[in-house]
């Protein structure tokens, strides 16, 4: 704590000159109703993006033949018809920045079609991809320099020339570059990385040697206190503005890539269509668990237009190659359940058919691309076994039973996990085996090591006349989640990434977001309980929070609210408010821990946006978990 207080102003100071000038002023009262949905809606990502990206297969060794080979296979194999439409270039495409006018030059030795009369251009390539029915993506960085320059020294596809010519990132050129990428070259998507604002401090060897110019870091994945969050947000806001300017039709996709650092797991949803929740995935089971965990409990932070991104698929290599179909299917199932982008990272020219079949499982894809846009919610979680449940647009549930470990698990799936009635039959379709079955009340099944069994389930809903908010996380946005001081999330698996092995001390909890809003649990992953009464459905959030809830045709809102029994203090009174399109609808008197749940309800017919506010009375620095028990929208 003391360290944090000491360091924050320092980091802020580093960036105060040019960066914080653009930081938007904080609204006077962040809990005041706004009547509007504040998560990112620009761009075009109503459904999680699907496609291919060059990085996992080729790192910086990307060229036109590899890229077109991927596009061709996606078309020929039928994956294109199944929704894979982005062909994205990652790091490795730059030659340099021309210093006379700042224009970016392409590595035409690797991309021959870019060699045109006048300046090199990606337009022929994007034209070709568009003609094949694809969308094209490009890659850049918030800083002056890029990730490969910091972490892939020795790679033959690094930018060339003087230090100034090798400054190919957006910093100082955002509008010029975005215009070039979208208006001139015709790209449809951009991934914006963050190594340039992380790895180029004055005392880094690569800077001291004169190779690169210093840029005081405003991002430190290992330290929140050394990350200047407003300054990072300001840079993304600049990207947002340029994208809007140069894409008048709004048809673009923005991918944020700052690896879960700077508390981005809480605010990435406000700045981009997809946002990375962790450092890089690797073709290793443990590493997949880390990146999966970084998104898995963040259902309320993912919505149509602003999805969690646990990184690209690594199916095709290592623990997910054709010799590991169980692991590959698990990886794919989990990404589908989480509404993660489905971005293939394999060399598709040589990918064996059994893996293409995994990418092509239309029933699994349909879960990811379901119109309701609800990320799966954790229904069971212990001893390396998890049950994830996703509410689909037609009222069906998708359920994934995930065995993370190396011993088989004898599991019981219950009607309660699905929020279905236990006295009525539940029909199941196994989306990997195709087998149909049914059960009433509960069902036993054995889940093999590292297997994920995925069913589509049809049953009678326990809440017949509506939907719990925790069943529709895609419609719920914790605009202010009440977290005062971001803290690393201890629930994320700490793996041994291949690139570091067991050198050093091992990975520590590093991804902030602990204490964020949760579906069906408190912000600290406890069951929801008010004065001894438990709720299996509801939203757990901290006091001093404001949630935005889209209302798609429901007539009534109901909830049982109160301070959760897990609050560490019984002294703090909290009042609950409900607003509809900015107008007050209902509220409670101040409630303390131990007081019974109070009903909070209102007619919401015709209301488009509800806001659910929990306000602590007086000045409080305590994190007070509050529970919106059984919060639901009814017909
Ligand atoms: C970072 C990103 C990766 C990839 C590389 C490129 O590490 O997280 O996804 O884009 O940079 O150098």
386-414: pLDDT as tens digits: 999 999 999 999 999 999 999 999 999 99
The pLDDT, as a whole number, for residue 620 is 77
Residue nearest to atom 5 of ligand 1 (CA): 147
The list of the chain residues with pLDDT below 50 reads 1-22
94 lines ligand 1 (CB under 6 A): no
Residue nearest to atom 9 of ligand 1 (CA): 280
Q: Are strands 50-53 and 342-344 parallel, antiparallel or unpaired?
A: parallel
Q: At what angle do helices 285-296 and 325-337 cross, to 10 degrees?
A: 10
Contact 15, 220 (CB under 8 A): no
193 lines ligand 1 (CB under 6 A): yes
Contacts (Cβ under 8 Å, ≥6 apart) of 411:
385, 387, 401, 444, 445, 446, 447
259 lines ligand 1 (CB under 6 A): yes
Give me the phi and psi of 436, to 5 degrees please. -110, 145
Query: Alpha-carbon distance 550 to 472, whole Å?
Result: 10
Ligand 1 mean position, distance from CA 356 (Å):
24
Best residue among 54, 91, 145, 159 to mutate for probing ligand 1, ranked by most atoms within 8 Å of CB: 91
Cα end-to-end span (Å), the chain = 47
In angstroms, how far apart are the furthest CA atoms of the chain?
75
Quick one: tokens of 588? 């409670």
Interior/surface letters 149-167, b for 16+ CB within 10 angstroms, e for the rest: bbeeeeeebbbeeeeebbb
How many degrees, rounded to 5, is the angle at CA 259 between CA 91 and CA 241? Answer: 75
257 lines ligand 1 (CB under 6 A): yes
Residue nearest to atom 8 of ligand 1 (CA): 280
Tally Cβ neighbours within 10 Å of residue 323. Answer: 11
355 lines ligand 1 (CB under 6 A): no
Contacts (Cβ under 8 Å, ≥6 apart) of 496:
286, 502, 506, 507
Residue 148 CA, closest ligand 1 atom number:
12
The pLDDT, as a whole number, for residue 170 is 98
Query: Alpha-carbon distance 23 to 230, whole Å?
Result: 6
Residue 139 CA, closest ligand 1 atom number:
10
Query: Alpha-carbon distance 498 to 326, whole Å?
Result: 21
Best residue among 55, 169, 276, 282 to mutate for probing ligand 1, ranked by most atoms within 8 Å of CB: 55
Query: Alpha-carbon distance 514 to 536, whole Å?
Result: 21
The pLDDT, as a whole number, for residue 347 is 98
Query: Alpha-carbon distance 50 to 70, whole Å?
Result: 13
Query: Alpha-carbon distance 587 to 540, whole Å?
Result: 18
Residue nearest to atom 3 of ligand 1 (CA): 280
Contacts (Cβ under 8 Å, ≥6 apart) of 91:
55, 59, 60, 62, 139, 146, 147, 148, 152, 193
55 lines ligand 1 (CB under 6 A): yes
The CB-side HSE value for 325 (13 A sphere, CA atoms) comes to 11
């Amino acid at each position: 704590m003391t360290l944090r207080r000491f360091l924050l102003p320092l980091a802020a100071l580093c960036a105060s000159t040019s960066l914080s000038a653009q930081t938007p002023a904080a609204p006077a009262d962040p809990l005041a109703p706004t009547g509007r949905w504040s998560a990112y809606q620009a761009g075009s990502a109503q459904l999680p993006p699907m496609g291919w990206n060059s990085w996992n297969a080729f790192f910086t060794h990307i060229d036109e033949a590899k890229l077109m080979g991927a596009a061709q296979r996606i078309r020929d194999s039928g994956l294109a018809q199944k929704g894979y439409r982005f062909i994205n270039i990652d790091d490795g495409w730059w030659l340099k920045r021309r210093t006379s006018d700042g224009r970016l030059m392409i590595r035409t030795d690797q991309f021959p079609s870019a060699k045109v009369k006048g300046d090199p251009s990606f337009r022929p390539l994007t034209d070709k991809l568009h003609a094949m029915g694809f969308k094209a993506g490009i890659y850049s960085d918030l800083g002056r320099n890029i990730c490969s320059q910091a972490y892939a020294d020795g790679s033959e596809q690094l930018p060339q020339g003087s230090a100034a010519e090798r400054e190919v990132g957006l910093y100082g050129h955002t509008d010029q570059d975005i215009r070039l990428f979208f208006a001139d070259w015709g790209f449809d998507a951009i991934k914006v990385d963050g190594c340039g604002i992380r790895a180029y401090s004055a005392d880094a060897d690569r800077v001291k040697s004169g190779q690169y110019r210093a840029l005081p870091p405003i991002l430190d994945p290992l330290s929140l206190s050394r990350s200047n969050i407003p300054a990072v947000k300001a840079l993304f806001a600049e990207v947002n503005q340029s994208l809007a300017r140069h894409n008048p039709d709004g048809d673009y996709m923005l991918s944020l890539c700052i690896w879960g650092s700077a508390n981005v797991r809480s605010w990435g949803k406000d700045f981009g269509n997809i946002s990375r929740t962790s450092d890089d995935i690797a073709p290793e089971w443990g590493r997949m668990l880390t990146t999966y965990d970084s998104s898995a409990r963040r259902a309320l932070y993912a919505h149509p237009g602003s999805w969690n991104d646990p990184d690209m698929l690594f199916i095709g290599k290592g623990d997910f190659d054709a010799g590991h179909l169980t692991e590959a299917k698990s990886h794919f199932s989990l990404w589908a359940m989480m509404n993660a982008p489905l971005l293939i990272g394999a060399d598709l020219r040589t990918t064996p058919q059994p893996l293409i079949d995994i990418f092509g499982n239309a029933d699994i894809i349909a879960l990811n691309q379901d119109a309701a846009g609800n990320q799966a919610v954790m229904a069971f979680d212990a001893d390396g076994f998890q049950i994830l449940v996703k509410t689909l647009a037609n009222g069906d549930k998708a359920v994934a039973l995930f065995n993370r470990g190396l011993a088989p698990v004898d599991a019981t799936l219950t009607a309660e996990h699905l929020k279905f009635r236990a006295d009525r039959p539940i029909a199941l379709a196994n989306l990997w085996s195709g087998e149909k079955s049914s059960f009433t009340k509960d069902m036993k099944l054995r889940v093999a090591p590292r297997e994920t069994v995925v069913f589509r389930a049809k049953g009678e809903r326990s809440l017949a006349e509506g939907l719990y908010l925790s069943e529709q996380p895609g419609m719920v946005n914790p605009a202010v989640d009440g977290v005062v001081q971001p803290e690393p999330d201890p629930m994320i698996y700490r793996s041994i990434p291949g690139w570091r092995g067991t050198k050093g001390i091992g990975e520590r909890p590093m991804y902030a977001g602990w204490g964020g809003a949760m579906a069906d649990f408190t912000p600290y992953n406890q069951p929801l309980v008010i004065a001894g009464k438990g709720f299996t459905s509801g939203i757990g959030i901290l006091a001093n929070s404001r949630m935005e809830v889209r209302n798609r045709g429901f007539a009534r809102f109901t909830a049982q609210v109160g301070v959760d029994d897990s609050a560490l203090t019984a002294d703090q009174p909290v009042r609950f408010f409900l607003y509809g399109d900015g107008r007050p609808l209902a509220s409670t008197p101040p409630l303390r821990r131990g007081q019974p749940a109070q009903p909070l309800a209102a007619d919401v017919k015709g209301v488009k946006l509800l806001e659910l506010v929990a306000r602590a009375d007086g000045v409080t620095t305590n994190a007070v978990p509050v529970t919106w028990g059984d919060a639901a929208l009814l017909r």
